Amino acid sequence: MSKKLNVGLIGCGFMGRTHSNAHRKVNNFFDLEYQPVLKAICDCNGGKAAAFAKTWGFESVETDWKALLARKDIDLVDICLPNNLHKEVAIAAAKAGKMIICEKPLARDGQEGAAMVKAIEKAGVPNLVSYNYRRIPAVTLAKQLIDEGKLGRIFHYRAKFLQDWTISKDLPQGGDGLWRLDVKVAGSGVTGDLLAHCIDTALWLNGSMTTVNAMTETFIKERKHQLTGKVEKVGIDDACAFLARFQNGSLATFESTRYARGHKALYTFEINGEHASIAWDLHDLHRLQYFEHRDEGRLRGWRSIHVTDGDHPYMDKWWVPGLQIGYEHSFVHQLADFIQGLQTNKPAGPTFRDALETQYVCDAVLKSAKTGRWEKVRHCGPKP
């Protein structure tokens, strides 16, 4: 019989839904020693929390996250809050001895993230940051191919994440649903929101970055703030592009914007190696494009691998070959890996320390955009 893992989830937004779905589904498809129990949902809006609890099956409602952390019946705290609240809640959860899953990015900047890592590691609690794209089977397959040496020496990495939802000058900033446009809450714009995903994936697939050279732009300089009612300066980056050098000698380009008309969530990456290349597109997330130079010349060309077979990552847990899965399943995989880490005492990544590496890259990118120079990327190193 599975051991109960009582979950206290904080935040009723989009990410709260994805995480709640994973907690409900994971034991239906993965054979695990622990079974998440939706013990409590927490949101400062009591009515919203009550409705969320009814929809997702939470047993109780809290309106104060401190009260949630004080409860003896909560084992795991799942933080699905705006970025400015990550540090305070995570550190308090660690001091309370709770396991922690935290939405990405880890924090608003590296300084906050370092304080979180220090507190979490001092407390010795299991922890994970939710960079879910690692757990899309095609992306995990790319990791396997790279680690097996299929690509050989890596020369190039290129990634982009394009959206178009902030183009209107009438869109306000701040408040519920639009906090990502408020620099005091988000910490940055597309760099910490979209590029953080690209960076995490890149570090996982291709290793550490050493230096970056970036440019950013804020296209709409002022927006009305939902909370104050006043027109205020916009402090986030609407678009960012940067060059990077990896420790393995490869070169990279990254681009992200919320001003690419016609693109809602176009996240792609391509990696070019000595022997082979791979490419992936979130819009076609169940496929991995693969080019193998060592194929016979007359048959050589890009192939599209339909990542649905039982020998593909995670896919033996789902349906029959040929039937694909979607975005939400990456969160189920993430939670399954976290729980398996509890069972084996081999923590699943990215841990808080892993996610701090992404935070340091973001810091260097934003610094470079201000200085106009190449900037070195700070590294936190392995856990002492």
**pLDDT for residue 144 is more than 80:** yes
Model confidence at 120: pLDDT above 70: yes
Helix axes 14-29, 46-56, angle to 10 degrees: 20
Residue whose token pair is 């989009």: 14
Burial class (CB in 10 A: 0-12, 13-18, 19+), 259: middle
pLDDT at 1 over 70: no
Res 177: pLDDT? 86
The stretch 27-44 carries a mean pLDDT of 97
Please tell me the predicted confidence (pLDDT) of residue 384. 73
Q: What is the mean pLDDT of the chain?
A: 97
Assess whether the previous peptide bond of 350 is cis (omega < 30° from 0): yes
Q: Which fold has domain 3-133?
A: Rossmann fold (3.40.50)
Q: What is the mean pLDDT of residues 328-339?
A: 98
Question: So what's the pLDDT on residue 2?
Answer: 78
Segment 3-16, tens digit of pLDDT: 999 999 999 999 99
What is the pLDDT at residue 365? 98
pLDDT score of 381:
77
**CATH says 134-371 is which class?**
alpha beta
Residue by residue, what is the 3-state secondary structure of the chain? Answer: CCEEEEEEEECCCHHHHHHHHHHHHHHHHCCCCEEEEEEEEECCCHHHHHHHHHHHCCCEEECCHHHHHHCCCCCEEEECCCHHHHHHHHHHHHHCCCEEEEECCCCCCHHHHHHHHHHHHHHCCCEEEECHHHHCHHHHHHHHHHHCCCCCCEEEEEEEEECCCCCCCCCCECCCCCHHHCHHHHCCCHHHHHHHHHHHHHHHHHCCEEEEEEEEECCCCEEEECCCCCEEECCCCCEEEEEEEECCCCEEEEEEECCCCCCCCEEEEEEEECCEEEEEEHHHCCEEEEEECCCCHHHCCCEEEECCCCCCCCHHHCCCCCCCCCCCHHHHHHHHHHHHHHHHCCCCCCCHHHHHHHHHHHHHHHHHHHHCCCEECCCCCCCC
- Percent of the chain at pLDDT > 90 equals 98
The domain spans of the chain are 3-133, 134-371
Question: Residue 380 in contact with residue 254, Cβ under 8 Å?
Answer: no
Matching fold, domains 3-133 and 134-371: no
How do residues 280-321 score in pLDDT, each as one tens digit? 999 999 999 999 999 999 999 999 999 999 999 999 999 999
Q: What is the mean pLDDT of residues 115-144?
A: 98
pLDDT tens-digit profile of 239-268? 999 999 999 999 999 999 999 999 999 999
